[in-house]
Amino acid sequence: IHEKIAALPPNANYFSLEFFPPKTAQGFANLHARLERMAHSLRPLFVNVTWGAGGSTSDKSLALAELTQRSLGLTTCLHLTCTNMSRKLVDEALEKAKKLGIRNILALRGDPPRSEEYRDDSIPGADEDDSNKDFTWAVDLVKYIRKQYGDYFCVGVAGYPEGHSDQSHPEHQSVEHDLPYLVEKTKAGADFIMTQLFYDVNAFVRYEKTLREHESGVFKTIPIIPGLMPVQSYQILRRTTKLSHANLPEDILRRLDEVKGDDDAVKRVGVDILSEMVETMKTAAPGPGPKGFHFYTLNLEKAVAKILERTNLIPPYKHTVLGADKIAGVEQAI
Ligand code: FAD
């Protein structure tokens, strides 16, 4: 991923799309068809496949990553968490990823480590050894990947423009509190930072500035990719922003409140809002290189496609594995 980003012109924009593995075979088949369409019509620079905390989705995540990387030829970034998971499971995931030709891992902590008495033996490998004590924070996984695989994997880490919250800390952690740990993760070998979702563009712009100007100097050129979640429904928006402690700026809340009884209107206004956010960031948060945008798709297609079209993020069709008839169809669809 970092090499693909570096190969773009310095003022270029790019985007990535995130998917989670569906639970059922039918859900998987539906996503397969949708991914094929999205791969050809939207052409993301890369796609992300999520990982269930503790390894709960390991087989399904790897199956989805195999589909995106191998069958669809999309540069894939596999998420991998490290807490509450045996080292064996971490090793198997990394080996399998390598065999599939995957070169990118988003190294995450996942849920806070459970103490011994709360250890869940239903999680694969949890009862086999206590090697999961090797992994307390995401930085432990970054170091482990570098130790085992050198530079084979491009490694991404998570950033939090509005601070971080979870059950391990009674209080919300501020950006300032989080920063030394992000420095540590970056020094340990991270190649890019991908952020938690947010709707407060000013918070992201402040965050990026803080990082770029940080005295450690480690964030000067590293890609910092903002995480954006298209508005799929009023309820989902309220739930996800509450869970992630993302601020909903008054103006955005007012525009959505005005139409909250009308699902189609919520989606329409959501596309307007996200498109405006992207346009603002293109100019207000210019990075030292190409500027990327990461979309949490929730496996849905329409809203993100509209935002990408509106903001001219879809790259021209250059490299094709499709027949000419299909290309014509794709171009029409765009
Ligand atoms: P860390 O970097 O380890 O930080 C966790 C917290 O601990 C922070 O508050 C930090 O300040 C603090 N901390 C870090 N190091 C230390 C230290 N040495 N001493 C004291 N405190 C420390 N979760 C999933 O389960 N699956 C996914 O696929 C997934 N994808 C994600 C994608 C993105 C882009 C993001 C932003 C998050 C994702 N998450 C996912 C959620 C993530 O696992 C949680 O937010 C988790 O609580 C923290 O993970 P981290 O990698 O940021 O952890």
Cα distance between residue 83 and residue 78, in whole Å: 16
Q: Is 135 a residue whose pLDDT tops 80?
A: yes
pLDDT, tens only, 7-47? 999 999 999 999 999 999 999 999 999 999 999 999 999 99
Active site residue 276: no
- Whose CA is closest to 231, among 180, 331, 171, 300? 300
- pLDDT score of 111: 84
The minimum-distance atom of ligand 1 relative to the CA of 194 is 34
Q: Compute, in angstroms, the gap from residue 112 CA to the centroid of ligand 1.
A: 8
Percent of the chain clearing pLDDT 70 (strictly above):
87
The minimum-distance atom of ligand 1 relative to the CA of 165 is 9
**Which single residue is written with the structure tokens 């490694």?**
155
Q: Is 104 a residue whose pLDDT tops 90?
A: yes
What confidence category does residue 52 fall into, taking pLDDT thresholds of 50, 70 and 90? very high
Model pTM score: 0.92
Q: Is 74 a residue whose pLDDT tops 50?
A: yes
Tokens of 36: 């094929």
- pLDDT score of 334: 34
- pLDDT score of 260: 95
Strand stretches in the chain, DSSP E = 13-19, 46-49, 76-81, 104-108, 154-159, 192-197, 224-228, 291-296
Q: Is 120 a residue whose pLDDT tops 80?
A: no
Q: Is 165 a residue whose pLDDT tops 80?
A: no
Tokens of 245: 């402690």
Tokens of 265: 């209107």
**Which single residue is written with the structure tokens 């990394």?**
94
Residue nearest ligand 1's atom 49 by CA: 109
Total residues belonging to the chain: 334
Residue 218 buriedness (CB in 10 A; 0-12 / 13-18 / 19+): middle
- pLDDT score of 84: 87
Sign of the alpha-carbon torsion through 229, 235, 238, 244:
negative
- pLDDT score of 85: 87
Tokens of 124: 């694969």
Which is higher by pLDDT, 126 or 318?
Answer: 318
Q: Compute, in angstroms, the gap from residue 138 CA to the centroid of ligand 1.
A: 6
What confidence category does residue 287 fall into, taking pLDDT thresholds of 50, 70 and 90? confident
Residue 321 buriedness (CB in 10 A; 0-12 / 13-18 / 19+): exposed
Residue nearest ligand 1's atom 28 by CA: 50
Q: Compute, in angstroms, the gap from residue 190 CA to the centroid of ligand 1.
A: 14
Computed over every residue of the chain, the mean pLDDT equals 89
The answer to whether the CB of 241 falls within 8 A of the CB of 248 is: yes
CA atoms within 13 A on the CB side of 301: 16
Query: Quick check: CB of 228 below 6 Å from ligand 1?
Result: no
- pLDDT score of 47: 98
Phi, psi at 22, each rounded to 5°: -65, 155
